[in-house]
Structure 1
Amino acid sequence: MRKALLALALLLVLVPVAQADSIMPGFGSVPTGWVTDRYQPASFSNVGVYEGRTDVLGIGISSNDRLAGRAAAFQSTFYNTQGMQYALTGGAGAFLTADLFIPELWADGAYGAVRTDIWGVLSDATDARSGYPIIGFTNYGGDARYRYWDYMGDGGWTNVSTPVGYDAWTNFGILFTGSSVVYSINGT
């Protein structure tokens, strides 16, 4: 079973707005309040202390849940993205942030493809979905890299030139300015 580990960021993040309010929930009470998004991961729990952090979220993906192993209703690549979501409310200045520990082993896709992201969901004044800001790490289909989803432009992935830090925590952030989003990696 592969695990992607996230922890709530406890960092001072400088952002280009007067006030930024972190709306990311803590992981101390996981899974309370979290619901399945697309497909239930094999495990989703607070693993306690990991790599010097407390209240660390552990997400496990099992090979038993691959496309061929899922029930007929989930026989689509759409459900290859497995995770949980938490309903949040925020406006201009709202900031999602989480830390991801990236082990050295993830540098080489030959040891298994990895993709792990932090997602936001934007809604317009009528409560219709208007965007999905996403930032994260992958080694799928090429070199290991950070990337973000360009939901406002062409709607594709944009690779980031920031070198991946291995055997270390990486902070990902999504700031909603009121009219766009600003992505950050380790505060920049």
Structure 2
Amino acid sequence: MFDLIVITNAWIHLMAAVLVVGGSFSLNLIVTKKLGALPSAEAGKLSQAVGKAFGSLAWIMMALILLTGLTRMIGLKLFSSYALLETTYGNLLLAKIVLFAIIIINSVLIAGTGMKLEKLGADGPPPADQLTAGQARIKTLGMTNLILGAIVVAFAVTMRVIGAP
């Protein structure tokens, strides 16, 4: 029974990460390019709708990543300073935690910028300079999260190969 719980926890952790990182790849490398072909007003509306939908999913998945990651750390007894600071596995885990924290901070900034842009456009077309600056900020933060997510995946693969201490 314990193995089933461990396997289920690992599966949820992995699937949540796949959805966040895969969704980030799709948004940043496919959707944004296609939005450029649309008229500005349509692109803005579609971008907001897609961003809201992905944002809702991403927040749920990041919460699952956090919960299942903590559960795995408890199960593997990885809260000791030795396990975290003096093993390659622990060092990679700490790096993943730091990168995940940065991804969460960037995601908060993306959501805040999106809400600000939405308010700007509530009473009519937003000022072009503010719209462009906000969209650029979201794009930069999104690409940063994409790169950080890819690094986290590389660390996770390495951890899987070397095994827990």
| TM-score over 0.5 (shorter chain) | no
* TM-score of the superposed pair, with normalisation by structure 2: 0.26
Structure with larger RCO (C-alpha < 8 A, sep 6+): 2
* TM-score of the superposed pair, with normalisation by structure 1: 0.24
- Structure with larger Rg: 2
More helix by share: 2
More strand by share: 1
